[in-house]
Amino acid sequence: MTEEKAMQPENKMGNMPVDRLLITMSLPMMISMLVQALYNIVDSIFVSRINEYALRAVSLAFPIQSLMIAVAVGTGVGINAFLSRTLGEKDFKKANTIAVNGIFIELVSYVIFVLVGIFVSRPFFASQTVIPEVREYGVVYLTVCCCASIGIFMQITFERLLQSTGRTMYTMVTQGVGAVINLILDPILIFGLFGLPGLGVAGAAAATVIGQIAAAVLAVVLNLKANRELHISFRGFRPDMGLIGNIYKVGVPSIVMQAIGSVMTYGMNLILEAFGAAQTVFGVYFKLQSFIFMPIFGLNNGMVPIIAYNFGAGSRERVVKTIKSSIAYAVGIMLVGLAVMEAFPAQLIGLFNASPELLEIGVPALRIICLSFCFAGYCIVVGSVFQALGNGVYSMIVSIARQLCVLLPVAWLFSLSGNVDLIWWSFPIAELVSLGLSTFFLIRINRNVIRRI
């Protein structure tokens, strides 16, 4: 093992200046995630041209889609953090085993969501709306997205393997290719261009999964060809429950944290059902805010392996510098998003073929909800710091408190007034709670972990 360590060159995560490293690793992912957010928005814009019921159906499908991504990304976070720390310790044989076990558990997760698509889609939509057209649009859309979700699970897995070794430029390529394919196929499959039949919402779902599968295939190829620090082989493979347990030690809190977002979204849809187009407004907001939040998630994806690697390598100074720089960049991005949403709410909602009712509810909604952006950037980065240092349970506690203990109960209480505008204030109120808890846990982890590196 000593000879193997000596033969491996020092990874850039251990010696490149931190700000330059953070930008180098994060910028490609921020750009690719902006493209991802753009195609999510464009996807809904095309769907809104079918009718508002189709747009509402796609919006109501979001909790299950979000849950699926939560499982894929949360598991990927566990793989990434464990793998980066192991590479920082120069244990390359163990790193290969971690990668193979990570791929295996993502495949198991895919099979579970195939069953969700087949058996859960119809009762899920029946619980949220009594409008038959919305139900039928939603069942078709969600069934396709779940049953063909092999692409998103493999794309995220193999992108995390690239990120864990610092090759973030490749993830920009894979995500960009998937997004472009989706954007091209959306109008073709939804409206039936070039002699093809118009598939409506099924076409939107098909365009999404085809783009994801293409990105996954490219990510696999890039790992096999360019990721020299990992050698992926399933020859003689047997699941290693110890390694899987370590992946989920970080991954499960991340999964739970993101899955809580699905529960929150589902709960909000139930609360908003009595307020007409408010469900659609809520869905439109989530599409728009992704354009602001996705760069933060890209920043996090660059930050996590840097912190995990230098934590494993015993470099406290680089860990602290990475945290401070990431918080500064995230807060700046969120303030820009706040300014845009406050200044142009009607124009943003108008992108979705908005009816007068949609605009009447949506304009004040966007202006109120986006006040939470003042604190969100800081809270998101700090939550990822906890995960990178192996304390993902802190992130889970903050997320549970914010979304289940504050946001939903406050939204329900405000809904009793019959004034939908009051409901939106639950978002900035919940973010204030998140700010306080995140700061408390950051002080704690600094005292117990970072100072002892």
Q: Rg (Cα) of the chain, in Å, rounded?
A: 22
Q: What would the two tokens of residue 332 be?
A: 């700046």
Q: Are 434 and 402 in contact (CB under 8 A)?
A: yes
Instruction: Report the pLDDT value the prediction gives residue 13, as an integer from 0 to 100.
Output: 66
Distance CA 180, CA 154 (A): 18
Residue 9 has φ and ψ, to the nearest 5°, of: -70, 155
Question: Distance between CA 106 and CA 305 in Å, rounded?
Answer: 20
pLDDT tens string, the chain, 453 residues long: the values are 444 444 445 567 667 777 888 888 888 778 877 877 887 788 889 999 999 899 999 999 989 998 999 899 889 888 888 887 787 777 778 888 888 899 999 999 999 999 999 999 999 999 999 999 999 999 999 999 999 999 999 999 999 888 777 777 788 789 889 988 998 999 999 999 988 889 999 999 999 999 999 999 999 999 888 887 778 888 888 888 988 988 888 788 778 877 888 999 999 999 999 998 899 999 999 889 988 998 898 888 888 888 888 887 788 888 889 999 999 999 999 999 999 999 999 999 999 988 898 999 999 999 999 999 999 999 999 998 988 887 878 888 898 999 999 999 999 999 999 999 999 999 999 999 999 999 999 999 999 888 887
Which phi-psi region, left, alpha or beta, contains residue 23 (left: φ > 0; alpha: ψ -120 to 50)? alpha
H helices within 168-277, ranges in order? 168-191, 201-226, 241-272
Contact of 201 with 50, CB cutoff 8 Å: yes
Burial of 43 (0-12, 13-18, 19+ CB in 10 A): buried
pLDDT at 404: 93
| Distance (Å) of CA 34 to CA 27, 144, 288, 433 | 10, 24, 11, 28
Nearest Cα neighbor of 212 from 304, 353, 113 is 113
How far apart, in whole angstroms, are the C-alpha atoms of residue 400 and residue 372?
A: 17
Instruction: Go through 175-212 and write b for each residue having 16 or more CB atoms within 10 A of its CB, e for each that does not.
Output: bbbbbebbbebbbbbbbeeeeeeebbbbbbbbbbbbbb
pTM: 0.82
The region, left, alpha or beta by phi > 0 then psi within -120 to 50, assigned to residue 192 is left
Task: Compute the distance between CA of residue 43 and CA of residue 144 in angstroms, rounded to an integer.
Answer: 15
61-85 burial: b if 16+ Cβ within 10 Å, else e? bbbbbbbbbbbbbbbbbbbbbbbbb
For the record, the structure tokens of 400 come out as: 């549970």
- Between CA 282 and CA 427, with CA 272 as vertex, the angle to 5 degrees is 55
